[in-house]
Amino acid sequence: MTERADLPTPADLPTATREEAERFAREQIHGGFRTRALLVRDVEEHFDPAKEPVTREQAAALVDLLWEERLAEQAAWPATTDADRLLAAFDTLGAAGVTARADFTCCRNCGHSEIDAEAADGDHGFVFFHQQDTARVAAGGGLWLSYGPLRGSGADAVAVGREIAGVLTAAGLPVEWDGSADTRIRVALPQWHKRLPQG
């Protein structure tokens, strides 16, 4: 990794700790869902205080620099990005009775176990991507979506998948899915341009 003069100096943090803190913080920032305050806490808690302590002040200094770096990048983005289109499609699905959640839970298993509690009355299906999916798409790996019928809805998994794929395609997003209920839907995004949250 190229050393950056504007990041905390080795006197503030050991080089290896600083580089790991930068890697972790940048990954979260590029995901686009964590607020600045939450990210500062996450960077601090990412390290074992008995082995590699990072203070709240050190974490904040690093996050502030990387946050401003990302804001500068955002200034060159188009008015509407693929991430905007995806989240708008999730709103459309939610209005149509498909519980849609972005950056939902830490992993697929947790998402499946918790999604029913998110459903509104009358919802028949669900779709979500979890935090590991967010990290993958931010790194350029495309976005994988989990989906299916809600418990007790009587909906068919393939029909729910078709509904989701149709809304995403109508939003202008590149959808890859073989039509099988055993296969996750992939949105083949070459870049993930999710604007940072306010606050």
pLDDT tens digit sequence for 62-116: 999 999 999 999 999 999 999 999 999 999 999 999 999 999 999 999 999 999 9
Q: Do residue 36 and residue 69 come from a single domain?
A: yes
Q: Do residue 68 and residue 87 come from a single domain?
A: no
Residue 116 domain flag: yes
Domain end marker among 74, 90, 106: 74
Q: Do residue 132 and residue 109 come from a single domain?
A: yes
Going by C-alpha positions, the residue among 185, 172, 199 that lies closest to residue 100 is: 185
Going by C-alpha positions, the residue among 61, 150, 84, 79 that lies closest to residue 111 is: 150
Contacts of 24 (CB under 8 A, 6+ apart): 42, 43, 46
Q: Do residue 101 and residue 155 come from a single domain?
A: yes
Residue 5 domain flag: no
CA–CA distance, 102 with 77 (Å, rounded to integer): 21
Q: Which SS3 state, helix, strand or coil, does residue 99 take?
A: strand
- Residue 199 clears pLDDT 70, i.e. is over it: no
For residue 94, the enclosing domain spans: 82-187
C-alpha dist (Å) from residue 157 to 37, 76, 88, 148, 171? 38, 40, 22, 5, 21
Is 3 buried (19+), middle (13-18) or exposed (0-12) by CB count in 10 A? Answer: exposed
Residue 53 domain flag: yes
Q: Do residue 45 and residue 111 come from a single domain?
A: no
How high is the pLDDT of residue 52? 87
Q: What DSSP string runs through 115-159? A: GGGGPPTT--EEEE--HHHHHHHHTTS-EEEEEEEPTTS---HHH
**Dihedral sign, CA of 116, 118, 119, 125?**
negative
Residue 4 domain flag: no
Q: Do residue 33 and residue 98 come from a single domain?
A: no
pLDDT in tens, 36-58: 999 999 999 999 999 889 999 99
Q: Do residue 59 and residue 136 come from a single domain?
A: no
Q: Do residue 135 and residue 69 come from a single domain?
A: no
The token duo for 179 is 């039509």
How high is the pLDDT of residue 5? 45
Enter the pTM of the model: 0.90
The total of structural domains in the chain comes to: 2
- Whether 12 and 58 have beta carbons less than 8 Å apart is answered as yes
Q: Token match 């990005």: residue?
A: 81
Q: Do residue 101 and residue 183 come from a single domain?
A: yes
Domain end marker among 26, 54, 74: 74
Q: For the sheet containing 175-176, what is the strand order?
A: 98-101, 125-128, 143-149, 185-187, 175-176
How high is the pLDDT of residue 151? 95
**Helix ranges, the chain (H):** 15-31, 36-45, 56-74, 82-95, 108-114, 131-138, 157-170
